[in-house]
Amino acid sequence: MPDLAPLALTCGEPAGIGAEIALKAWIERGEHSPRFVLLDQPARLARLAERLGLNVPLAQVGSLAEVDAQLFAEALPVLPLEAPIHGEAGRVDEADAPAIVESITRAVRLAQAGEVAAVVTNPIRKQSLKAVGLDHPGHTEFLAALAGGGARSVMMLASPRLRVTLVTVHVPLAAVPGLLSVPAILEVARATARALRQDFAIAAPRLAVIGLNPHAGESGLLGREEIEIIAPAIATLRAEGIDAFGPVPPDAAFHAAARNRYDAAICMYHDQGLIPLKTLDFDEGVNVTLNLPFVRTSPDHGTALDIAGTGKANPQSLMSALAMAAAMAKARAV
């Protein structure tokens, strides 16, 4: 198998911790860490490194072909953006929205052209997309629009001890029951099974489908979504040859013995999946977008504006995102 191409790492919100954790990820790289190139502005990275006392040589590159193992060992490769960046860590500047969007867009185009093995995105504020007239709820939906093809993006959160995918994502809790349907569960579960085979090299994935209500509805006494929506979806999945089971009562789904029974949990709403994952593996959680024609991962945390520029940011989630992106890209190449 040929050497894996470098990964593209986006700048994220310049006022957040993205640049700091990128610098630290390069410092803490190991012999087998994947190569990555940061789409950012070298001058502002140099200022931040000096401010934080981080010894990170920077190498401005004009093409991905320059980012070989020797260069990455000696310096952090930076592909400069055309749009300027005005803000600094801890200081938001709304004029940075074009640079943020350019970083994401260029990373996707590089992936589509095969010049990078995967896209890893630093966190952004949703306001940045709206500032340039993009009407997307968040990062994930914007990436799906850039990818084209019309497939709905599916959010997976993955860590060493748990993988979850979400049927509903950033919606009010009160809206969740009305958004659940058999087709919605099937779409997420099929994408999950496909990703486990394609990206995680799990030949026969096992899916736990989590109930919506306490005790998975208690045979209809505490809600009928399990009977009318979730159970029929599971039956269809099993008829298709997908090893899915449930509805699993939410309060019994995530202890150690339960987790040994499945490779991913299909959760009905955002916090149902993210609370157990972040409790188990807060620093190693990775956000993975399924149903894209390229690999995309991201740290499972936000911009952390409150600690940006203080030197306190932990790069572990970004390092996990880089490692997982490389492993997924290798699995797809087999």
Interval 213-230: pLDDT, tens: 999 999 999 999 999 999
Strand order in the sheet with 243-248: 58-60, 76-80, 36-40, 7-10, 119-120, 296-299, 286-290, 154-158, 163-166, 264-267, 206-210, 243-248
Query: Is the same domain home to 2 and 84?
Result: yes
Query: Is the same domain home to 95 and 190?
Result: no
d(CA 181, CA 236): 13
Report the CATH number that the domain containing residue 205 is assigned in CATH.
Answer: 3.40.718.10
> Can you name the residues that pair with 296 across neighbouring β-strands?
119
Query: Is the same domain home to 44 and 124?
Result: yes
**For the chain, percent of residues with pLDDT exceeding 90:** 82
Higher local confidence (pLDDT), 125 or 262: 262
Query: Is the same domain home to 264 and 196?
Result: yes
Query: Is the same domain home to 132 and 50?
Result: yes
Query: Is the same domain home to 139 and 27?
Result: yes
Query: What is the domain extent for residue 130?
Result: 1-151+292-334
Q: What is residue 2's predicted lDDT score, i.e. its pLDDT?
A: 52
Query: Is the same domain home to 161 and 179?
Result: yes
Q: In the predicted model, what is the mean pLDDT of the chain?
A: 93
> Can you give the pTM of this predicted structure?
0.92
With a cut of 70, say whether residue 1 has pLDDT above it: no
Query: Is the same domain home to 79 and 218?
Result: no
Query: Is the same domain home to 287 and 297?
Result: no
Contact predicate 323/288, CB 8 Å: no
Mean pLDDT of 154-170: 95
Query: Is the same domain home to 75 and 182?
Result: no
Query: Is the same domain home to 5 and 147?
Result: yes
* 217-227: b (≥16 Cβ within 10 Å) or e: beeeeebebbe
pLDDT digits (tens, 9 = 90+) for 99-144: 999 999 999 999 999 999 999 999 998 887 777 777 777 788 888 8
Q: How many domains does the chain have?
A: 2
**Token couple for 213:** 């209500």
Q: Binning pLDDT at 50, 70 and 90, where does residue 153 land?
A: confident
Mean pLDDT of 321-328: 96
Mean pLDDT of 293-322: 94
Query: Is the same domain home to 49 and 115?
Result: yes
